[in-house]
Amino acid sequence: MTVLPLSLPQRVLATLACSLMAACATTPTTGPMGFFVTSAGPGKGADLGGLSGADAHCQKLASAAGAGQRQWRAYLSTSAVGQDVPAVHARDRIGKGPWFNAQGALIARDVEQLHGANLITKATALDERGQAVKGRGDTPNQHDILTGSRIDGTAFSPIYNLTCNNWTASGDGQAMTGHHDRLGLVSDAWALSWNSSHQSRGCGQEALKSTGGAGLFYCFAAD
């Protein structure tokens, strides 16, 4: 039997299929917790004590849940301040993956999948205790998760101030939020985004509640 050589499109498809099969083969389907939504914020709205305060809150909650041996980072971006303080991008803070929730379910195998076809839904975006986080249709709705980030996980220009003064303000201002349940008033890409859906009405706890939040944020194991 004569075997005909593959055409260029066929070779490309074959290579892609092999790559996908290899990725699936090397990424376990279950693993230790490396991702959670905070069960509560620090209690001062979007004033999280900056990135260091937010990271410490992640570490505290993870430790209480028996996962304190890992290095935890908040999925938050900050904007540049003048010429001396550069922007920080949430996607660069959280390690390489893979990440699993508190029940061992895969969330994303790497940074690329996290910002693409990830597995974040209301059923998988659990808190550090493995409990579901209230979303659209629940009372109260708490699906607005603080991120300060674009869809690709990068920071906004400082002219927009979508980080409540880089997570130090609890009064006037606004923060970009995502929907952990991937639900909104409409079914467009913004409403369904886990990390970049809409702005909050303010930075205080009551302002965050009024738009469907509670000052919660995502935590990832960076090691």
In-domain check, residue 3: no
Residues 114-125, buried b or exposed e (16+ Cβ, 10 A)?
Answer: bbeebbbebebb
pLDDT band at 211 (very low <50, low <70, confident <90, very high): very high
In-domain check, residue 8: no
In-domain check, residue 142: yes
Q: What is the CATH number of the domain that holds 159?
A: 3.10.100.10
pLDDT, average across residues 115-138 = 97
- Model pTM? 0.87
Contact 119, 147 (CB under 8 A): no
Contact 89, 154 (CB under 8 A): yes
Domain region containing 175: 28-221
Give pLDDT tens digits for 55-85.
Answer: 999 999 999 999 999 999 999 999 999 888 9
User: How many domains does the chain contain in total?
Assistant: 1
In-domain check, residue 190: yes
Kind of pairing, strands 213-221 and 35-37? Answer: antiparallel
Q: What is the DSSP code string of 77-93?
A: -B--BTTTB--B-GGGS
In-domain check, residue 18: no
